[in-house]
Amino acid sequence: MVIRRCGAQRTVAVAVAATAVLAGCAADPAPSADPVPPTAGTTLVEPDDANAPLADAAVPTLGDRDLDVAHYDLELDYTPETGELDATATLELAVERPSDAVVLDLVDLDVTGVRVDGAEAPFDHADGKVTIDLGEVVAPGAPMQVAVDYAGVPDAVQTRALGGVEVGWQVRDDGSYVLSEPEGARTWYPVNDHPTDKATYDITVTVPEGVTAVANGELVEERADQATTTTHWRMAEPMAPYLATVVTGDYVGTSNDADGDGVLPQNVWTAGDTDGAEDLLAAQGEAVDLLEGWLGPFPFSTYGGVVLPPDDTEPFFDNVAIETQSLSLYGAESVVGETVVHEAAHQWFGNSVSVTRWGDDIWWVEGFARYSEWLWIEDADGQAAYDRAVERTYDQLAEAERPVAPGDLSVSRLFSAWSYDRGGLTFAALRAEIGDEDFEAFLRTFVERYGGANARTEDLIATAEAVSDEDLEPFFDAWVFSDELPPAP
Ligand code: TRP
Ligand code: ZN
């Protein structure tokens, strides 16, 4: 495996699922394509706006806005041969309004027992919700521990955000992996499944001896028992539920051997191809260095990448990558330089600073990640190359008959040219508008202010205005809130 650069061999155009336009050398936004209706006979979450006042139109039935989970401790026993997961999730949480129940998202798997602060509690599991009876009205803020025992073969769920592609836990012959964005977390653990409820995680995975298991964050402990291996991973920084991942299978780890003095430890997991691992490690290191120059320190204590084996079950995943927190996953065909920097950029934009509402905020998440690909090009090949990348993207977008404002995207357009490319162009235009110095200060200030938490477009605008001391209302109105595409930056 060699880390390609975009250019002559632009083989990785990805517009597989409806309007989805993902990272890499794509540059093929197919912006006028309307979403392909999901395959018949599938269960999709239908919008139900009669939810809480803060409901998210993209995932209207998910999450409970009155619940605050501080920590997930997931103990997973996984058998790749059968696909069986046997697990206990222990959540440290509090309600935010007086309540006599806790409601969590979980599909398919069988819940066999629930304990609240150690005592058996009655529960009901139906329609993707586990409702736990607290037996009394509990006051807001009172810390509670809720443990859920569950088991079964996880089944991924279709999402309208990717034209019906299934997200969540993927059971494969040779192991498993988890790609949840935006709504697959509930396929493998009981969760308050909305990015506004970020939490820290301990993920402990027991697999048969000889199988490798990797999850987000740092490796805390590794243990061999009779015929099993257990690894314990810790994500100590707040993480949105969709960014949690576990990968099992036949992987080899390669490390940059950071010795702890200021060097970010980085690891890459591949199915045996150690040459490729060195290349990815090198590209990842360069991407992190470049982005630290623009954004400040990497937001997590470690970074890694997993190169998934080719997937016959869902070829879509071969050509995409995902920014799972501190451990990006790459489809077998997706390892190109631009994608590596794209996923690294998400560690700040999307992971450390997370969306508040999917449809309102995804444009600055995917937009900055796309923009980072151009920073990478600028760094390697100079300003003219950067200008060409921006111009080419603009020209493609300008061909769309019906342009769409990125600031209020419907679920089928979350991962479309309107978030990635128009979002990326918005950053390019902002840099041209306020100048390099203010642009860099804006990026750093935004990340500093909202790192570890969530932000909204209004926060981003306010930060840009404060740093540049300019009225940017007309600028953002044109780029983010109006359908019509503004003049090229
Ligand atoms: N955020 C991913 C990216 O880097 C795209 C994405 C969204 C994705 N949902 C996904 C990839 C599910 C794989 C599976 O651009
Ligand atoms: Zn992205």
Q: Is residue 67 part of a domain?
A: yes
Q: Is residue 76 part of a domain?
A: yes
Read off the CATH number of the domain in which 469 is found: 1.10.390.10
Residue 437 amino acid letter: E
Nearest to 21 by CA among 174, 213, 162: 162
pLDDT digits (tens, 9 = 90+) for 410-424: 999 999 999 999 999
Who lines ligand 1 at CB under 6 A? 22-23, 162, 167, 179, 181, 320-323, 342-343, 346, 366, 415
pLDDT digits (tens, 9 = 90+) for 352-371: 999 999 999 999 999 999 99
Q: Is residue 301 part of a domain?
A: no
Considering the chain, what percentage of its residues have pLDDT values greater than 70? 89
DSSP string, 90-154: EEEEEESS-EEEEEEE--SSEEEEEEETTEE--EEEETTEEEEEEEEEEPTT--EEEEEEEEE--
Nearest residue (CA) to ligand 1, atom 1: 322
Count CB atoms within 10 A of the CB of residue 190. Answer: 30
Q: What is the pLDDT of residue 237?
A: 98
| Whether residue 16 is found in the same domain as residue 76 | no
Count CB atoms within 10 A of the CB of residue 10. Answer: 14
Output the six-digit token pair for 266.
Answer: 């980085």
Nearest residue (CA) to ligand 1, atom 6: 322
In the predicted model, is pLDDT for residue 95 greater than 80?
yes
- Structural domain harbouring 428: 2-38+353-479
Average pLDDT in the 273-299 region?
95
In the predicted model, is pLDDT for residue 44 greater than 60?
no
In the predicted model, is pLDDT for residue 142 greater than 90?
yes
| Whether residue 108 is found in the same domain as residue 161 | yes
Nearest to 418 by CA among 18, 5, 48, 54: 18
- Cα 347 to middle of ligand 2, angstroms: 10
| Whether residue 9 is found in the same domain as residue 80 | no
Give the position, in ligand 1's atom list, of the atom nearest the Cα of 342: 4
In the predicted model, is pLDDT for residue 47 greater than 90?
no
Q: What is the pLDDT of residue 122?
A: 98
Give the position, in ligand 1's atom list, of the atom nearest the Cα of 23: 15
Q: Is residue 156 part of a domain?
A: yes
In the predicted model, is pLDDT for residue 32 greater than 70?
no
| Whether residue 358 is found in the same domain as residue 459 | yes
Nearest residue (CA) to ligand 1, atom 13: 322
- Cα 365 to middle of ligand 2, angstroms: 7
| Whether residue 14 is found in the same domain as residue 127 | no
Q: How confident is the model at residue 76 (pLDDT cuts 50, 70, 90)?
A: very high
Calculate the CA 39 to chain-centre distance. Answer: 24
Q: What is the pLDDT of residue 49?
A: 41
| Whether residue 363 is found in the same domain as residue 471 | yes
Count CB atoms within 10 A of the CB of residue 94. Answer: 18
- Cα 443 to middle of ligand 2, angstroms: 17
Q: What is the pLDDT of residue 23?
A: 62
Cβ contact 323:365 at 8 Å: no
| Whether residue 78 is found in the same domain as residue 148 | yes
| Whether residue 450 is found in the same domain as residue 358 | yes
Enter the DSSP assignment of 309: P
Q: How confident is the model at residue 26 (pLDDT cuts 50, 70, 90)?
A: very low
Q: What is the pLDDT of residue 262?
A: 82
Nearest residue (CA) to ligand 1, atom 3: 322
Q: Is residue 93 part of a domain?
A: yes
Residue with tokens 């905020």: 361
User: In terms of DSSP bridges, do strands 327-330 and 303-307 run parallel, antiparallel, or are they unpaired?
Assistant: parallel
Considering the chain, what percentage of its residues have pLDDT values greater than 90? 85
- Cα 326 to middle of ligand 2, angstroms: 14
Nearest residue (CA) to ligand 1, atom 10: 181
182: preceding bond cis by omega (within 30 degrees):
yes
Nearest residue (CA) to ligand 1, atom 8: 322
Cβ contact 393:420 at 8 Å: no
Average pLDDT in the 23-37 region?
41
Read off the CATH number of the domain in which 140 is found: 2.60.40.1730
Output the six-digit token pair for 363.
Answer: 């444009």
- Cα 341 to middle of ligand 2, angstroms: 10
In the predicted model, is pLDDT for residue 53 greater than 50?
no
What is the number of structural domains in the chain? 2
Q: What is the pLDDT of residue 165?
A: 97
In the predicted model, is pLDDT for residue 406 greater than 70?
yes
Nearest residue (CA) to ligand 1, atom 4: 322
Nearest residue (CA) to ligand 1, atom 9: 181
Nearest residue (CA) to ligand 1, atom 2: 322
Q: Is residue 129 part of a domain?
A: yes
The Cα-based distances of 52 to 48, 63, 250 in angstroms read: 10, 10, 44
Q: Is residue 452 part of a domain?
A: yes
| Whether residue 394 is found in the same domain as residue 455 | yes
Q: What is the pLDDT of residue 5?
A: 59
Q: What is the pLDDT of residue 273?
A: 77
| Whether residue 26 is found in the same domain as residue 95 | no
Q: What is the pLDDT of residue 18?
A: 35
In the predicted model, is pLDDT for residue 15 greater than 50?
no
Q: How confident is the model at residue 22 (pLDDT cuts 50, 70, 90)?
A: low
In the predicted model, is pLDDT for residue 31 greater than 50?
no
- Cα 488 to middle of ligand 2, angstroms: 22
For the chain, the residue count is: 489
Cβ contact 116:150 at 8 Å: no
Average pLDDT in the 241-252 region?
98
Give the position, in ligand 1's atom list, of the atom nearest the Cα of 366: 15
Give the position, in ligand 1's atom list, of the atom nearest the Cα of 343: 4
Bridge partners (DSSP) listed for residue 252: 270
- Cα 180 to middle of ligand 1, angstroms: 8
pLDDT digits (tens, 9 = 90+) for 319-351: 999 999 999 999 999 999 999 999 999 999 999
Could you tell me the end-to-end alpha-carbon distance of the chain, in angstroms, rounded to an integer?
A: 36
- Cα 314 to middle of ligand 1, angstroms: 14
Cβ contact 365:346 at 8 Å: yes
Among candidate residues 190, 206, 240, the one where a domain is terminated: 190
Give the position, in ligand 1's atom list, of the atom nearest the Cα of 182: 9
Give the position, in ligand 1's atom list, of the atom nearest the Cα of 323: 4
- Cα 415 to middle of ligand 2, angstroms: 8
Q: How confident is the model at residue 54 (pLDDT cuts 50, 70, 90)?
A: low
- Cα 24 to middle of ligand 2, angstroms: 9
Count CB atoms within 10 A of the CB of residue 451. Answer: 19
Residue 344 amino acid letter: A
Nearest ligand, CA 358: 1
- Cα 320 to middle of ligand 1, angstroms: 7
Ligand 1 mutation target, pool 322, 336, 343, most atoms within 8 A of CB: 322
Q: What is the pLDDT of residue 347?
A: 98
| Whether residue 360 is found in the same domain as residue 475 | yes
| Whether residue 31 is found in the same domain as residue 139 | no
CA separation for the pair 238, 175 (Å, rounded): 27
Residue with tokens 């935010």: 96
- Mutual orientation of helices 337-348 and 358-381 as an angle, nearest 10°? 130
Average pLDDT in the 184-193 region?
98
Higher per-residue pLDDT: 26 or 176 = 176
CA separation for the pair 429, 422 (Å, rounded): 10
pLDDT digits (tens, 9 = 90+) for 191-235: 999 999 999 999 999 999 999 999 999 999 999 999 999 999 999
Q: Mean of the per-residue pLDDT values for the chain?
A: 91
Give the position, in ligand 1's atom list, of the atom nearest the Cα of 339: 4
Q: Is residue 411 part of a domain?
A: yes
CA separation for the pair 327, 67 (Å, rounded): 27
Nearest residue (CA) to ligand 1, atom 14: 179
- Lowest-confidence pick of 12-21, 69-78, 136-145: 12-21
Residue with tokens 């079950």: 313
CA separation for the pair 213, 205 (Å, rounded): 7
- For 172, phi then psi, to 5°, come to -130, 160
User: In terms of DSSP bridges, do strands 246-249 and 157-158 run parallel, antiparallel, or are they unpaired?
Assistant: unpaired
CA separation for the pair 74, 84 (Å, rounded): 15
Nearest to 221 by CA among 207, 229, 232, 210: 232
Give the position, in ligand 1's atom list, of the atom nearest the Cα of 317: 13
Among candidate residues 146, 174, 190, the one where a domain is terminated: 190
- Cα 22 to middle of ligand 2, angstroms: 6
Give the position, in ligand 1's atom list, of the atom nearest the Cα of 331: 13
